[in-house]
Amino acid sequence: MQFTVTYDRDETDPKTGPITVGWFLTSDKGGILYDAPERLTSRQTNKGHAKSAARCPAVVQMESRYFVIKCPFDLHIGFKRDDQGKPVLVNLAGGASPIRGNKLGQILTLVNEAEWRYPDRPTIQMTLPYCFIADEVLYLTQIGTFADYRPDPLPGTIFGGRFPVNIWPRPLMWAFEWHDTEKPLILRRGEPLFYCQFEGNAPDRPIQMVEAERTAELDAYMEQLSGVVNYVNQTFSLFQAAEKIRPARLLKPKTR
Is the residue at 2 inside a domain? no
Is the residue at 194 inside a domain? yes
Considering the domain architecture, whether residues 191 and 121 belong to the same structural domain is answered as yes
Tell me, what amino acid is at 227?
G
Q: Are 156 and 121 in contact (CB under 8 A)?
A: yes
Considering the domain architecture, whether residues 115 and 227 belong to the same structural domain is answered as no
Q: Please report, for the domain that includes residue 37, its CATH number.
A: 2.70.40
- 102: pLDDT strictly greater than 90: no
Considering the domain architecture, whether residues 62 and 100 belong to the same structural domain is answered as yes
Considering the domain architecture, whether residues 72 and 152 belong to the same structural domain is answered as yes
> What are the residues facing 121 on neighbouring strands?
118
Tell me, what amino acid is at 124?
I
- 165: pLDDT strictly greater than 50: yes
Contacts 24+ apart (CB under 8 A), 53-56: none
- Any idea what DSSP says for residue 2? -
Is the residue at 11 inside a domain? no
Is the residue at 140 inside a domain? yes
Considering the domain architecture, whether residues 54 and 86 belong to the same structural domain is answered as yes
Q: What is the structure's pLDDT at 234?
A: 61
C-alpha closest to that of 193 among 235, 159, 163, 233: 159
At 231, is the pLDDT very low, low, confident or very high (cuts 50, 70, 90)?
A: low
Q: Are 168 and 225 in contact (CB under 8 A)?
A: yes
Average pLDDT, the chain: 85
Q: What is the structure's pLDDT at 237?
A: 76
CB atoms inside a 10 Å sphere around CB 128: 19
Is the residue at 21 inside a domain? no
Range of the domain at 151: 27-209
Is the residue at 191 inside a domain? yes
Considering the domain architecture, whether residues 205 and 138 belong to the same structural domain is answered as yes
Single out the residue in 209, 226, 242 at which a domain terminates: 209
Q: What is the pLDDT of residues 73-92, one digit of tens each?
A: 999 999 999 999 999 999 98
C-alpha closest to that of 229 among 216, 242, 217: 242
Specify burial of residue 176 (Cβ count, 10 A radius: 0-12, 13-18, 19+): buried
Q: What is the structure's pLDDT at 230?
A: 56
Q: Are 143 and 124 in contact (CB under 8 A)?
A: no
Q: Are 160 and 140 in contact (CB under 8 A)?
A: no
Q: What is the structure's pLDDT at 128?
A: 94
Considering the domain architecture, whether residues 202 and 221 belong to the same structural domain is answered as no
Collapsing DSSP to helix, strand or coil, 204 comes out as coil
Q: What is the structure's pLDDT at 119?
A: 93
Q: What is the model's pTM?
A: 0.85
**Segment 135-154 mean pLDDT:** 93
Q: What is the structure's pLDDT at 107?
A: 87
Is the residue at 192 inside a domain? yes
C-alpha closest to that of 78 among 197, 173, 185: 185
Q: Which residue has the higher pLDDT, 16 or 108?
A: 108
For the chain, the domain total comes to 2
Q: Which residue has the higher pLDDT, 62 or 25?
A: 25
Considering the domain architecture, whether residues 181 and 227 belong to the same structural domain is answered as no
Considering the domain architecture, whether residues 152 and 113 belong to the same structural domain is answered as yes
Q: What is the structure's pLDDT at 1?
A: 40
Considering the domain architecture, whether residues 90 and 217 belong to the same structural domain is answered as no
Q: What is the structure's pLDDT at 10?
A: 53
**Segment 90-108 mean pLDDT:** 80
- 239: pLDDT strictly greater than 90: no
Q: What is the pLDDT of residues 199-228, one digit of tens each?
A: 998 888 899 999 999 999 999 999 988 866
